Amino acid sequence: MDSRHGALSTRTYEAFKTVLFFYVLLTQSVKVQRHLRARGIATSIREFYTWIARHVIMLALRLPSAQHKVRTEMDKAKLDIEDKLVPKGADVARHLALPEKGQTPEWITAEMDKMDNEMGLANTWKNGKLSGAVYHGGDDMEKVIVAAYAKYCVSNPLHPDVFPAVRKMEAEIVAMTLRLFNNPDGAGTMTSGGTESIIMSVKTHRDWARAVKRITEPEIIIPSSAHAAFDKGAAYLKIKVHSVPVDPLTRKVDLQAVKRAINPNTIMLVGSTVNFPDGNQDDIEGLGKLATKYKIGLHVDCCLGSFIVPYLEKAGLADGSNGKYKLSPFDFRVPGVTAISCDTHKYGFAPKGSSVIMYRDAELRRFQYYVNPDWSGGVYASPSLSGSRPGALIAGTWAAMQYMGSDGYLESCRSIVTCARAIADTIVASVPELYILGSPPASVVAFGSQDPKVNVLEVGDKMAKRGWHLNALAGPAAVHIACTRLTVDRVDAFIADLKDSVREAKLQPEGKGTMVALYGLGNSSAVGPAMVGQLATAFLDTLYKA
């Protein structure tokens, strides 16, 4: 009896093992097959090759002699970064501990002025030779924002019963923005910026997909031109990302490749209006059709499009000119769009630290919330990542929107977009060495080189020598400018400096500027990205050098 029982359980055990083996084999091969399907065979082989090459080189770099060289180079680069960021000298006061006695308001202002001047760069942004970064609404606007700040300096919307006006202003900011994107019955919340808006949307779609579609291993599909915030959010939330190539000419995401990457674990697609690298727009209607067909989310990133793209139509600029710069539908009127992020702190001219994440309906927004009824500190419920939040920023944003009004935003859209298109048109007409990436409908213009004798990153470095702070791009190598109110009056200066820079880059390339060094390194070898990663980490360390 006993031995028969023993034999039976051994057999059951063996059968169980076999089933388990085939189960694991099956699920793993489904994963591999989906991965290959999404990336394509050629890309998968290339990725695998890069992965191997990188590991081999990293191993080689562990040899003592190589390690010494890498460390020396790295230390040199770190010192370079420090020199650029941290003021030096015996007369630089360092405040490393609290003062024994509190300082006077006069001392505080004077000390700030001194710090501003230590690097000799105080207020350089005001000369307008800057891509994006400062979305200045003018001196009067600054006064309006500061007054709103002052009034709500200590307010905290985590306690709406104590600060009812702040609660009302936040609700109104969301309502106004929803109307701008043609979804008055939709829902949304404010966040601290575009990155938080995007991370919240990824989380919302993840929790929605888990509840409604029982997806436990979520994946998102993003264009290769999508903002890094999607990768960041996916990394935080343990979500797999498929980055899909964009068409080299139009710079719009390849819809066929998006379709191939969709599988039963897909929770959301992403499209930009407009993307950060080159200011072009994805085909939102095409993405919307896919999202509807496969019953998944579609996030439209209007962080940078902000308060510009909703006004292009009203400004009569949506149709473009000469077949260029056309804007296609992108907001909640497009079926399939489930979420849109819009940064009030970019072209809304609100103070930094404010953005709006919008959803098609209030039901979807609920998946964004965090609610803990059992906390020993009381019932805890909060709409987004932060707990306590600055009510002053909400008041500042509300004030900025009231001050600008629809006519103000319409005018800013008209002048900024006209500036961007003038830059693009002039480059096409009079700088034959360069070409424009795609056909950007809004405020960003990116240019690459079509002349083998001109390295566009070298052009960027020559522009830096002339005082311009532009952005370098990696795939393909290019440089962009995001036009703002500060650049509107600088088109002629920009073009003149650009022509000089191209000429100089062609005749006297040095190959030593920051853009060439950093991006050249990143693209030149398999190990480049790892090195650049180490440098970027060193850069972050330097930020906290007191």
Helix or strand (DSSP H, E) at 223: strand 219-223
* Identity of the residue, 194 or 288, whose beta carbon is nearer to ligand PLP in the bound complex: 194
Whole-angstrom distance, CA of residue 135 vs CA of residue 100:
38
Report whether 329 contacts 285 (CB < 8 A). Answer: yes
* Identity of the residue, 261 or 356, whose beta carbon is nearer to ligand PLP in the bound complex: 356
CB of 194 to ligand PLP, least distance (A): 2
* Identity of the residue, 233 or 460, whose beta carbon is nearer to ligand PLP in the bound complex: 233
CB of 274 to ligand PLP, least distance (A): 7
Report whether 272 contacts 301 (CB < 8 A). Answer: yes
Specify the long-range contacts of residues 111-117, CB closer than 8 Å, at least 24 apart. 115/87
CB of 451 to ligand PLP, least distance (A): 29
φ, ψ of residue 506 to 5 degrees: the values are -75, -40
* Identity of the residue, 304 or 502, whose beta carbon is nearer to ligand PLP in the bound complex: 304
CB of 353 to ligand PLP, least distance (A): 9
Cβ-proximal residue to ligand PLP, closest one? 194
CB of 457 to ligand PLP, least distance (A): 21
The dihedral formed by the CA atoms of 452, 458, 459 and 462, expressed in degrees to the nearest 10: -150
Write the CB contacts of 537 (distance below 8 Å, at least 6 apart in sequence).
Answer: none
DSSP letters of 297-344? Answer: EEEEEETTTTTTHHHHTTTT-TT-BTTBS-----STTSTT--EEEE-T
Tokens of 315: 């400004």
CB of 317 to ligand PLP, least distance (A): 19
* Identity of the residue, 246 or 304, whose beta carbon is nearer to ligand PLP in the bound complex: 304
Spell out where 455-542 has E strands: 471-473, 478-482
* Identity of the residue, 166 or 229, whose beta carbon is nearer to ligand PLP in the bound complex: 229
* Cα three-residue angle 377-381-386, rounded to 5 degrees: 95
- Judged by the rule CB under 6 A, the positions of this chain that interact with ligand PLP are 193-195, 227, 229, 272, 275-276, 301, 303-304, 343, 355
* Identity of the residue, 301 or 433, whose beta carbon is nearer to ligand PLP in the bound complex: 301
* Identity of the residue, 128 or 193, whose beta carbon is nearer to ligand PLP in the bound complex: 193
CB of 302 to ligand PLP, least distance (A): 8
* Identity of the residue, 136 or 213, whose beta carbon is nearer to ligand PLP in the bound complex: 136
* Identity of the residue, 193 or 391, whose beta carbon is nearer to ligand PLP in the bound complex: 193
CB of 222 to ligand PLP, least distance (A): 11
Helix or strand (DSSP H, E) at 178: helix 164-180
241: helix, strand or coil:
strand
CB of 165 to ligand PLP, least distance (A): 25
φ, ψ of residue 37 to 5 degrees: the values are -65, -40
CB of 195 to ligand PLP, least distance (A): 3
Write the CB contacts of 266 (distance below 8 Å, at least 6 apart in sequence).
Answer: 219, 220, 221, 294, 296
233: helix, strand or coil:
helix
* Cα three-residue angle 32-35-39, rounded to 5 degrees: 140
- Look up residue 129 and give its amino acid: K
Task: Name the one residue in this structure whose structure tokens are 């939330």.
Answer: 237
CB of 230 to ligand PLP, least distance (A): 9
Q: How far apart are the first and last CA of the chain?
A: 78
Helical residues (DSSP H) of 431-466, grouped into ranges: 456-465
Task: Give 7's Cβ-side CA count (13 Å radius).
Answer: 3
* Identity of the residue, 338 or 341, whose beta carbon is nearer to ligand PLP in the bound complex: 341
Calculate Rg over the CA atoms of the chain: 26
* Identity of the residue, 389 or 462, whose beta carbon is nearer to ligand PLP in the bound complex: 389
CB of 349 to ligand PLP, least distance (A): 14
